[in-house]
């Protein structure tokens, strides 16, 4: 089995492009199972807004509720990069994804911090356990594809990385 781990942050424009490349090329690789690993490029208390900790906690809520994770990820990238909503406000964030998740439960878990520990462990898993330095980053079968700082990854790199699974 080929398990592809994808490390990304919604506030990272290079992650948005990498995610688009992944979505474009993934259908040709039914042998790959994707595990999304959202993590913060600049976790608090770094002064580098917008902070996406709530959006990532919302991802884990959506995952537990079996919501469409591709739709959620796409929407959160749009929230930050296209619509520029306040992703640090639980109510604004909930309104933005209300058609994808149960809005009231979503607000409650963000306010309660239900998934905060999981979100923080995700950061540790990326940076401490997997030596991720730049996002997006991909891991599969002992192989790595890491972005170059302020450059990201190319579509060709993502496509080639996915093809490795067929070997």
Q: Please tell me what DSSP assigns to residue 44.
A: T
3-state SS of 118-155 is HHHHHHHHHHHHCCCCCCCEEEECCEEEECECCCECCH
Q: Could you tell me which CATH class the domain 2-166 is placed in?
A: alpha beta
pLDDT in tens, 95-141: 999 999 999 999 999 999 999 999 999 999 999 999 999 999 999 99
* 82 in Cβ contact with 107 (< 8 Å): no
* Strand pairing category for 2-8 and 32-38: parallel
User: CA angle at residue 147 from 3 to 74, to 5 degrees?
Assistant: 65
pLDDT at 167: 62
Measured from the Cβ of residue 149, the count of other Cβ atoms closer than 10 Å reads 10
Domains of the chain by residue range: 2-166
Question: pLDDT band at residue 166, thresholds of 50, 70 and 90?
Answer: low
In DSSP terms, 32 is beta-bridged to 2
Q: What is the pLDDT of residue 1?
A: 83
In tens, the pLDDT along 21-60 reads: 999 999 999 999 999 999 999 988 888 889 999 999 999 9
Could you give the CA distance from residue 29 to residue 50 in angstroms, rounded to a whole number? Answer: 34
pTM: 0.95
């Amino acid at each position: 089995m080929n398990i592809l781990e994808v490390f990304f942050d919604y506030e990272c424009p290079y992650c948005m492009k990498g995610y688009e490349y992944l979505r474009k090329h993934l259908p040709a690789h039914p042998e790959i199972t994707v595990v999304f690993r959202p993590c913060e490029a600049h976790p608090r208390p770094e002064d580098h807004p917008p902070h996406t900790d709530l959006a990532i906690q919302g991802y884990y809520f959506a995952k537990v509720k079996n919501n469409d994770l591709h739709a959620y990820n796409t929407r959160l990238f749009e929230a930050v990069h296209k619509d520029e909503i306040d992703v640090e406000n639980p109510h604004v964030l909930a309104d933005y994804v209300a058609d994808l998740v149960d809005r009231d439960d979503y607000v409650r878990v963000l306010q309660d911090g239900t998934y905060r520990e999981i979100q923080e462990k995700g950061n540790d898993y990326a940076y401490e356990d997997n030596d991720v330095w730049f996002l997006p980053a991909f891991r599969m079968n002992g192989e790595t594809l890491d972005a170059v700082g302020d450059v990201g990854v190319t579509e060709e790199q993502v496509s080639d990385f996915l093809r490795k699974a067929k070997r």
